[in-house]
Every structure is written in C-alpha cells, then in structure tokens.
Amino acid sequence: MIRILYTILFIVLLSLNSFATHERAGEITYKHINGLTYEVTIVTYTYSPSPADRPELEIKWGDGTYSILLRNSYADLTPVIRKNIYIGQHTYAGAATYIISMEDPNRNYGVINIPNSVNIPFYVETKLVINPFLGINNSVQLLNPPLDYGCVNKLYVHNPAAYDPDGDSLSYKLTICKGFNGQNIPGYTFPQASNSFHIDNISGDLVWDSPIQQGEYNVAFIVEEWRSGQLIGFVERDMQILIDACSNNPPEIFTINDTCLEAGDTLIFEVRTYDQDGDKITLTATGGPFIVSESPAILDPDPSVGYGADTALFYWETKCSHIRKSAYPAYFKAFDNSTPVSLTAYKTVNILVVGPAPENPVAVPLGNSIILSWDESTCQNATGYIIYRKPDFYGFQPGPCEVGVPEYTGYKKIADISGIENISYNDDNDGAGLNHGIVYCYMITAVFGNEAEGYASEEVCAQLKKDLPIITNVSVNSTDTETGSIYVAWSKPTEIDFTQTPGPFQYQVYRKSSEQGSDWTKVFTSAIDDTLYTDNNLNTKDFKYFYRIDFYNNDPPDNYFLIGSAVVAPSIYLTTEASDQKLTLHWNDDQPWINSQFVIYRQNPVTLDFDSIGYSTVPQYSDSGLINGKQYCYLIKSVGYYSAPGMVDPIINFSQEKCGKPVDNVAPCAPILTVTTNCELLNNNLIWIYPDTCTEEELIYYIYYAQNESSDFILIDSTVNNYLSFETNPPSIVGCFTVTALDSLWNQSLYSNVECVDIDECGRVWFPNVITPNSDGYNDYYHADSINSVQNFNITIFNRWGTIVYESEDPYFEWDGKDEKNGGDCSPGTYFFVATFAENSLTGLINREVKGSITLLKD
C-alpha cells in the first residue's frame, strides 16, 4: 500500500513538473519608503493555463536574507497570458550595493533561442545602491509591458517606456537571459535576424531587423540609472517576443523631435499615425509627462482611434515642479487590429523643462568689490543660484535648450549661493579684491534640488571706480644678474573724490622679488603726473619682480594718509624645459590686465637680434627641431589690454632673456617581445622588435627575468641584438620575461610586454611503463621524460615482493634493468615505482608523487 502511494505521488509530481511551463517575462522594481526601507514590486507574465500557478514567490534581498512575497493581484490579459504582481518591503542594515533577485523553476515551453526552456529557471535581478552621498534613489519604472508581437521578415521595434521618477540619466544594454542561480543560460543565443538585433543605448529602442523564424523568443536587457556620473542602480527585464507569419505592415507615427521649454509655458503638438494597410490604428501615450503628480500632460483623444490615418493632440501645461536635469520621455505607441498579428510602432519625444532665468540683475561697484543683486526666482522650488563672471562682455543669447552658462563663452563659475531668498552677492575676488581697469560681467542661473540648472540671466557688467592708479607695464628692459632693468608704468586715477581727498597726491612705488625672504621695499616716490619709473641694478636673470603702487593724500600734517594701493603686478618670468631636440618655454600670466597674445622671440646666433618665431595664447610654447647641446636664447612679448575704456591699448611687456640647451632625455619606445620555447633544449628564445613609429637610433637592450609570477624581475643580460636564448638552472622553461631599450645617453624605456612560460608548455614529467634492455637501442634504459625544472627528485623501483632494486636522486636517471645491490639482471615481469619531486611553475614549486608499474621484457 505504501509503495502504491509513493508511486502515485511520484506520478503527480512528474505531471506537475511537465506542465510547469509558465514564466514568460518579468522584472523587479523598487521605490524608497523611508530611511533604509524599500518597497519592491515583482511583475511577471505567465502562461495562464499552466497548473503551476504562483500565488507566492521567493525574493532574495541581496543582503543574505530572503522573503516569500504573496501575490497582490493578477489579471488574465488573454486566454494564455496572465500578469502577476507581488509586493513586499525590506529594511536594510546600512549603505551598500545590493542585488535583489528572483528565480522561478521553469520558463514556458518551446522558447526558440533557449535550449530546453521548460527545464530552465527564470531569473531576473535589480541593483539597489544605497549611498548617502548620492541621495535617495527609486528604480526606473518600465511602463510598456514585456510581451510583444512581431512578424517574420518585418522590422520589429519595441521600447520599454522607461521612466525614472528621480530624473536620473538612463542607458540601455543587451544582456544574456539568466537561469539557475543567476548564471547565463547555456546555449542561449540572441534571436536570428536578417540584418541585425540590437538595442539603442540612449533611446532604449529594441530593434530586430528582421525576424527569420516563427516562434517564441526571450531577450533580456538592462536599464541603468546614472547620477553625477555614477551608476546608482539598474533594472533587468527579461521579455518575450512572439513571432508569427503575416503580410501585415506596422503603423507609423509622425510628430516633433525632442524639444524643451521654460517652466510655466505650454507645449502643444500634433501626433499623426498612418497605416499603409488601412487598418484600424489605436494610439496611446505614456511616460513622465503623463504621470507627474502636478499638471500631467494629456493626449486628446486618449486613446486616439482611426482607420488608415489619424491625428491626436499632445498638451502639457508645465509647472515649476517639472524642472529637472534630464528630459521627460513621452512614449507614443500605435498598434493596428490586423490578424493574426497586431503590429506596433513606437515613437519617443524627450521634453526638457527648464527653469527660468533670474530677472533684473544689477551690478554696482563698491570699493574693490562689485555688489550683485537680482530678483528672487519665480519658481519657489529653486534651491539657490550660481554666479558666473568674465572680465569682458560676451553677448550671450542662450539657445532654446542651452541651460546654464556654456564654457565657450569664457565665463567661469565663481560662487554657489544656497537658498532662494539669498539674492545678492559681494564679489571681492575671494578677499583679494577686484582689479581696476577691468569691466567685470556676470550671469546668474537658478538651480534646483535635482541638480538642474535653469537659463542664464542677461549679462550685467560693472567696473571699479578709477580712484587708484592702475599698473600697465612691468617690462624687462635688460637681463643681467646685477645691472638688469625693469620699466614700470601706471595710469593715474581719474575719478578722485576731492571732498574726501583734496590732495596734493603722491605715488610710492614698492618692489619685491621672488628670491626667498624678499620683502616689500620702497623704490620710488613721485607726484600725480609722474607715472613712469625705471628700476635699475636688478638681478632680472634669476628672479621675477613684483610692483605695488601706494596712493597717498600728501597734505601734511593732518591729511597725509594712504588712499589705497594699485593691484600688484609681476614681471613676465620665462623658464625653459629641455627635451630631445626641443625646448619648452613656460612663463607666468598673472598680471592684472588681460593678455590676449604672446609673441615668442629667439636670438639669431649671427646678428644676436631676437627674431619672432611664433605666437601663443597660453603661457607655453614648444620650439622643436633643435640641435641637442646647442644653446638657444628666448624672450617673450605679451600683448594685453584692460577692458575698461580710457586705458592704454595694447599693453606691451617683455620678459627677461632666457637660454637653454635641448638634451636627449627622452626614453626610447618599449620593445615588443615574443617568446618561443624549445622543449628539446629546454630553453626560451626571446625575440623583440622596436616599433617602426619610434625614432630610429642606436640601442642596447636589457633583458629581465622573474622565476614566477610572484618574483621580482632581475636583470639577466644585455645585448645590442634583438634576440636572446635563455635557460634557467636547473634547465627549465618556466619564467616571465620582459625587455627594455636604452639609448646612447642611457635613457631607458618602459618595460616591454611581459611574456610568461609555464611548465605545461613542454608537458609535465611522466614515466613510461616498459623497459627492454636488449641493447637494440630502443627502451634499453628506463628513464623519466619531459624533465623540466625538476628539484628534490627521488625514485624507488621495487619488485612485486617489495624488494628495492633501484634508487636514484638524479632526475636524469637511467635504470638498465639490473638489481643495483648485486648487479645481476632482474627477472622479466612487473615492477613498481614511486617518484617524488618538485617542479617549478609560475605559481611556485609544485610537489608531486607519481606511482606506477614497469613491465620488464626480454627476448
């Protein structure tokens, strides 16, 4: 009776397994609840007639724990397709990366590109990154279902309609469907196509051009979320595509391309559908604009139904709450009513909602600062502002989708302002003060909590009041260690407040050098109209010089006081960097005026005049094609200006003269190494080539060897040839090799590629099983073969009674079939041996013990 019950139970279980062909498609998504608690939703699509229904599923949370999730709901979409939803919550212990996964024992039967699919588990996973520095994250939501239909020899396109509620950037990539324990399914192949099968990594369009064979196919892809350049999570979808034979053509969708608009504006455009077969077309829409909580977009009508052709209207009245860094994808889907297969078309329109520009910016100079102010953002969800500055006017007019202030304008970000209510900024150049004579221009943008930046304000400019002298020249007249000379000039103040400072006025010129310990020294005093000074007896060869001009009200004794100081201006100091047939020139560009161009001069060795050899807009220039060891001398002329009106233009200044000699300090290129092994001689032949793209020169080569992968390389040889035959001691082929090249000045290249040879290259030590000591030259001696890097060798040969007839510690032993104790011939028959030894390998010594038998034969 018990045996009968077991038989019946076995038959029932076998039957259930045979019909448990239900999992078609699915994915796992999550949303943040609070703290470290997340709510996970598993959506699966199953073969509904299967008796192996799943009222519950096991989920692994990625932290070593799991739960059983009950099915919250299901819906039978067709007689053979059921949609199932499972929801559960989990609290994690802390910040980390977690892989949430679900595995179900069986897929549905007969998937073309999954061998024996009925016995392959269905597996999907999702990555959750909990990182307080990146903020709270909710997974992407896939709004189009993972079941779709196509026809043989017809272009198939699917889009999952991915929506990220946090506004993160999305990317897409194909992956292999997974089975048991999350492993790639053995034998899985992507669906065969007439032309190609791929997914667009930006739009998410899955394109199959075109299916070849009818049947059911499963494909998987990953939707990744990116925030601040870091991967913050992904959702893997495993979907099913059912391909049938039909003569139908899919409908088409025509509408606008990607667009953007300012928050508060309304976007209206037409969406037209067309079906060349004249079929009934149903147009639906989904995506971010349709599911935002405030003022969602509408499609009118929704759905839109027509025959052959139809037009619907998209309408979205945007709000400030819609502002975010990434665009909202609006997904349009059109499907026909053809039989036996209804075909579908997809169209995505990305809509960027941009924050408005701050209005009414004002810039007012005050002392050595400029005070900025502007109106509070009209969008109350702004979190602050960004201030940009440029020392001149640009005339920027942002394009329709050009947010922030682009780098090409020359504007630089100088401040982040937190709080929407903070609508002023004091620009004092981080405490250093702004420069007189410069027109400072500003643009302001509003920023929002999701790192979105709005349109830039109009440009607003101001300049400091010209109530102090402005240095225009610090130019080296002559270069010498003792009698060097520098010309200093300045522009006198023209906007003096005579009620506060009635005069007379006085300039006091101060100087210091770049020499360690140098301090400010007064070198000149002059009246208001005397704005030139030549500073002599300087070491302009070795040091850079700085000048400051203090401006005094000079009416002693009661009104003698310092009004202020001109911004410090340094001389141009040139240095050279020697290299092979080249000198690279460097100089400073830290003057208070704007240098627009530098002219490079090199001394003519015959006339001793300095001739122009080039131009640069940056403080660097490379003079190449020179002769190593020969001296070359240079100086730099800067051409600059102040952007405020009424200043001398152009402003010309010179550096000191600087000489240098190019020298060959450039290492040769690394050789390219190959290693071949001679297993008869047990050595390695190293051959290398020098790249054709590198400078041809006389070279010597260093050869380095490492005994194994954990050993350091040691220099073993050098050669002027491009080959080397090398063996270790004991004879071995094991080791790693690399080569360097050295030129005539001993500049050494980087290591070549590393080539390693392991013991298996020539086979491991092995022992034959026959000896025929009859002096015919064949098998007269018993010995080991493939002796390669053997150490600590020992072999013992004994007869069937255990009596030892031969022993040796020589890996190259030769047993002649005699008893080594008495020298007599051993009787024909079976003998046994035990050999112990160690072999070198790339991982170190490997100890082996080999046991076997030997048949001794005699004629």
Burial of 5 per CB tally in 10 Å (0-12, 13-18, 19+): exposed
Confidence of residue 499 (pLDDT cuts 50, 70, 90): confident
Q: Which helix (H) or strand (E) holds 31?
A: strand 23-34
Q: Parallel, antiparallel, or unpaired: how do β-strands 147-151 and 230-244 relate?
A: parallel
pLDDT of 361 higher than 60: yes
Name the phi and psi angles at 724, rounded to 5: -160, 135
Express each pLDDT in 554-573 by its tens digit.
888 777 899 999 999 999 99
- Positive or negative CA dihedral for 526, 531, 536, 542? positive
* Residue 779 confidence (pLDDT): 84
pLDDT at 432 over 60: yes
What H or E segment, with its residue span, contains residue 291?
helix 288-291
For the cut 50, the answer to whether the pLDDT of residue 5 exceeds it is no
Kindly state the average pLDDT of the residues 330-337. 95
Q: What pLDDT, on a 0 to 100 scale, did the predictor assign at position 475?
A: 98
Please give the pLDDT value at position 728.
67
709: left (phi over 0), alpha (psi -120 to 50) or beta: alpha
C-alpha to C-alpha distances, 17 to 9, 115, 141, 332, nearest whole angstrom = 12, 17, 33, 41
The answer, yes or no, to whether the previous bond of 210 is cis (omega within 30 of 0) is yes
Tokens of 191: 């669906």
At residue 760, what are phi and psi to the nearest 5 degrees?
-70, -15
Question: What length is written for the chain?
Answer: 859
Tokens matching residue 19: 């019909």
Q: Which helix (H) or strand (E) holds 315?
A: strand 309-317
Q: Is the distance from CB of 806 to CB of 773 less than 8 angstroms?
A: no
End-to-end CA distance of the chain: 70
Rounded mean pLDDT of 346-358? 96
**9 pLDDT above the threshold of 80:** no
Model-level pTM greater than 0.75?
Answer: no
Secondary structure class of 292 (helix, strand, coil): coil
- Grade residue 12 by pLDDT with cuts at 50, 70 and 90: very low
Write the DSSP assignment of 331-368 as a string of letters.
EEEEEE--SS---EEEEEEEEEEEPPPP---EEEEETT
DSSP states of 51-90:
S---SEEEEE-SSS-EEEEEEEEEEEEETTEEEEEEEEEE
Which amino acid, one-letter code, is at 488?
A: V
Q: Mean pLDDT, to the nearest integer, of 298-318?
A: 96
- Please tell me the distance from the alpha carbon of residue 540 to that of residue 655, in angstroms, as a whole number: 9
Residue 170: beta bridge partners?
A: 225
Q: How confident is the model at residue 4 (pLDDT cuts 50, 70, 90)?
A: very low
Q: Band of the pLDDT at 21, cuts 50, 70, 90?
A: low
How confident is the model over 730-741, as pLDDT tens digits? Answer: 677 888 999 999
- Tell the residue number behind the tokens 């100088």, with chain if given: 414
What is the percentage of the chain residues whose pLDDT exceeds 70?
97
Coil, helix or strand for 785? strand
Do 637 and 658 form a contact (C-beta atoms < 8 A)? no
3-state secondary structure 204-262: CCEEEEEECCCEEEEEEEEEEEEECCEEEEEEEEEEEEEEECCCCCCCEEECCCCEEEE
Residue 842 to residue 759: CA distance in whole angstroms: 8
Q: Are 377 and 323 in contact (CB under 8 A)?
A: no
Contact 136/450 with Cβ under 8 angstroms? Answer: no
Confidence band of 422 (pLDDT split at 50, 70, 90): very high
User: Can you tell me the distance from the alpha carbon of 486 to that of 127, in angstroms, rounded to the nearest whole number?
Assistant: 66
DSSP 17: H
Average pLDDT along the chain: 91
Residue 144 region by backbone torsions, left for phi larger than 0, else alpha for psi between -120 and 50, else beta: beta
Q: Which residues pair with 737 in a beta bridge?
A: 705, 755
Confidence class of residue 19 from pLDDT cuts 50, 70 and 90? Answer: very low
Query: Is the predicted pLDDT of residue 51 greater than 90, yes or no?
Result: no
- Distance from C-alpha of 791 to C-alpha of 728, rounded to nearest angstrom: 13
Residue 785 burial (C-beta neighbours within 10 Å; 0-12, 13-18, 19+) = exposed
Tell me 405's DSSP state: -
pLDDT per residue as tens digits for the range 513-547: 999 999 999 999 999 899 999 999 999 999 999 99
Smallest CA-to-CA distance from 279 within 347, 331, 343 is with 343
CA dist 804 and 783 (Å) reads 17
Q: Give the pLDDT mean for 269-293.
A: 96
Q: Read off the DSSP letter of residue 748.
A: B
Amino acid code (one letter) for 801: W
Q: Which residue has the higher pLDDT, 745 or 101?
A: 101
Q: How far apart are CA 348 and CA 335, in angstroms?
A: 15
- For the chain, give percent helix, strand, coil, nearest 5: 5, 50, 45
Task: Please tell me the distance from the alpha carbon of residue 784 to that of residue 733, in angstroms, as a whole number.
Answer: 17
Q: Are 84 and 54 in contact (CB under 8 A)?
A: yes
Q: Which residues contact 856 (CB under 8 A, 6 or more apart)?
A: 771, 772, 773, 817, 826, 827, 828, 829, 830, 831
Contact 664, 745 (CB under 8 A): yes
Burial (CB count <10 Å: 0-12, 13-18, 19+), residue 303: middle
Q: Is the CA virtual torsion 18, 20, 26, 29 positive or negative?
A: negative
| Mean pLDDT for the stretch of residues 507-513 | 97
Q: What is the dihedral of CA 717, 722, 725, 729, to 10 degrees?
A: 20
Q: And the tokens for 846? A: 């490997």
Cβ contact 63:40 at 8 Å:
no
> How many CB atoms sit inside 10 A of residue 242's CB?
15
Lowest mean pLDDT among 5-19, 145-159, 447-461: 5-19
Token readout for 714 is 């040691």
Strands laid side by side in the 683-689 sheet: 672-678, 683-689, 723-726
Helix (H, G, I), strand (E, B) or coil at 183: coil
| 341 burial type by CB count under 10 A (0-12 exposed, 13-18 middle, 19+ buried) | buried
Summarize the confidence of residues 144-167 as an average pLDDT: 93
Which residue do the tokens 């860094």 mark? 325
Beta pairing partners, 723? 687
Ranking 107-111, 171-175, 582-586 by mean pLDDT, the lowest is 107-111
pLDDT at 176 over 80: yes
Give the model confidence (pLDDT) of 685-730 as tens digits.
Answer: 999 999 888 878 889 999 999 988 888 999 999 999 888 887 766 6
Q: What is the mean pLDDT of residues 33-62?
A: 92
Residue 501: the pLDDT is: 87
**pLDDT tens sequence across 376-389:** 999 999 999 999 99
